[in-house]
Amino acid sequence: MKVLAVLVLCVTLGFSNTLDSCQGRCGYGTDSNYSCQCNPACERYNDCCSDYAAICKASTSCKGRCGESYNSQNECHCNSLCPQYNNCCSDYNELCYNAGGAVTDAEIKSISERLYSLDSNKASASVLVIDPQALVASSQTSSETDRSSKPLFSFLNENALFSKPTYAALLSVLDNYNRMTGQAENFSSQQLAEQDKFVRETMSNTQVGRELFAFLYNKGIYKSEEDFIQDLKMMWFGLYSRNNNQLDSSGFEHIFAGEIKGGKVSGFHNWIRFYLLEKSGKLNYYSHSFNGPWTTFPDVLGMQFMWDGYYKQVGSAVIGCSPEFDFAIYSLCYITRPGKQCHLSVGGSTLIIQTYTWDNSFYGDGKKFIGSAYPATP
């Protein structure tokens, strides 16, 4: 039944994780995790995928190829450098350019300030109090030493925040995950509905979400609100494998819920998740290695902590923001600056978000899932 559930989920989300195709893999080095290869050497070693010639050698379209590595065998190219070398495929601008190059840094700073001003559901000092305590140097973050005797969160008025629809939607999704990588996720129909509700509640039913959509729509990145919602569901909740070829992870799980990989905490960049685990006694706050310049919420901390026996060296998060603001700024940065640093302006101060793409599997026409996103050191 577990295998069947995973297969049903794959169909529901339109996810494909094939190991014997060159879709999105042209020019990549030899990878023993795949049953066939998609680089020029595969012809010499006779281990090319069956669609290697069709996808990697003869294709003159960027469909499924946006952001791929340079491959001299291709007739045209679909990466960020092809405009500079004047060797892009004819549909590069249509399929790839709006995925990361059509929005200026100034526009990103402007829209992020608007999102900040519209975040009416963020915490105030009357409902949230934190106690950062020990500040450590970057060289000390790996020591696994508890330098803070008290919890990070001194007070939170849960009734004032958690009754709000977007907070309630987030809480319903956070507990749906198995934190261990290498173990396939198995979602019920109710849990899939909770994912859908979270995206729609935060993006369709708040001023923050509607403002983000309007901005991306006006830039030509999305043709309709439904197109926007469906793409967010796939990039955030579509499953891929971080370990053991199991569909064990997603961008949302990694960033908002946190995972365990290689004996350490991986991801985990949401303050509400931190609060809930600390309150339950499963998380012990140790110290922080950076603190943002903000004196009101949202603020930014880079935290060291132990989660039920597993250590996180730097788990940065935007503290006190609403779920819709958290989701919106990460989405904005991933859509406009995938795999790069994204420079926001929040309350007049710079906030840098680092995003990473997941390059080993794809959805839709070669789109990449979110690998990670988090606040970088101010």
The residues that are catalytic are: 254, 269, 312
* Residue 176: partners with Cβ closer than 8 Å, 6 or more residues away: 187, 191, 194, 195
- CA–CA separation, 220 and 107 (whole Å): 14
Q: Which residue is it, tokens 């050191």?
A: 377
Write the CA distances from 370 to 89, 309, 335, 359, integer angstroms: 25, 27, 9, 9
- CA–CA separation, 340 and 355 (whole Å): 6
Write the CA distances from 137 to 151, 318, 319, 374, integer angstroms: 20, 20, 20, 19
Q: Which residues of 232-249 are buried (b: 16+ CB within 10 A; e: fewer)?
A: bbbbbbbbbbbbeebbbb
User: Considering only CA atoms, which of 286, 316, 261, 285 is closest in space to residue 140?
Assistant: 286
With beta carbons less than 8 A apart as the criterion, state whether 150 and 133 touch: yes
Joined tokens for residue 193 = 């509905």
